[in-house]
Amino acid sequence: NAGVTQTPKFQVLKTGQSMTLQCAQDMNHNSMYWYRQDPGMGLRLIYYSASEGTTDKGEVPNGYNVSRLNKREFSLRLESAAPSQTSVYFCASGRANTEAFFGQGTRLTVV
Amino acid sequence: QQQVKQSPQSLIVQKGGISIINCAYENTAFDYFPWYQQFPGKGPALLIAIRPDVSEKKEGRFTISFNKSAKQFSLHIMDSQPGDSATYFCAASKNTGFQKLVFGTGTRLLVSP
């Protein structure tokens, strides 16, 4: 039972490079989310997808784009990475107003 | 603007003691208050959650106390164990049909043997 799977687990980028973080869930959840976690700041919502075919901005969307490819997959793209985007990124999924399940995270360093 | 304020930032408790972590929220529309537990290198996992129609919820050694009028809720860990050493996050969301959580800043708990 995989749950929420994120790839890659670690990534180092140079400033200005682009990359896509992948996320897939096998729990048939409608909603999916991308959070970033920074020391002393908790988890902050970047983008979310309430259902397949919809996406919306969260608290810190600048510098990111997302794609809800299908019900299972929700990707996060950094078009031009900046050092301020060094963080741990978590994908999550869930049903309406119940528990959110998180992936293992992607540790991204931008140099 | 921090909608959910969590304290303390870190906590050291002796084995067998009680760990208490507090959170306060601002938005009265919030109606779901979960606590997440995170071990190093792992994603957060739901520990226990409460809705505002009850003032307390207990699951094993973990209890949430909820004070709607004060807009505060807290996590109590009874008989704390070294295996409880982790980072704990409180969170809140409102019923919009999906789970858009607002997290506190986290508390790093260390339970000493």
pLDDT, position A90: 98
The DSSP H or E segment spanning A44 is: strand A42-49
pLDDT digits (tens, 9 = 90+) for A2-23: 799 999 999 999 999 999 999 9
CB contact under 8 A, B101 and A51: no
Count CB atoms within 10 A of the CB of residue B33. Answer: 23
Predicted confidence (pLDDT) per residue in B43-75, tens digit: 999 999 999 899 999 999 999 999 999 999 999
Q: Is B103 on the interface with A (CB under 8 A)?
A: yes
Is B21 a residue whose pLDDT tops 90? yes
Paired with B36 in beta bridges are B46, B89
Which chain A residues are Cβ-neighbours of B98 within 8 angstroms? 30-31, 48, 50-51, 94, 96-97
Closest residue on chain B to A93 (Cα): B99
Segment A45-68, tens digit of pLDDT = 999 998 898 999 999 999 999 999
Given an 8 Å threshold on Cβ–Cβ distance, is A94 in contact with B98?
Answer: yes
CB distance from B40 to chain A under 8 Å?
no
- The answer to whether the CB atoms of B93 and A97 lie below 8 A apart is yes
Is residue A76 over pLDDT 80?
yes
Cα separation, B41 vs B77, whole angstroms:
22
Residue to substitute from B1, B2, B98, B107, interface A, most A β-carbons within 10 A: B98
With cut-offs at 50, 70 and 90, classify the pLDDT of residue B33: very high
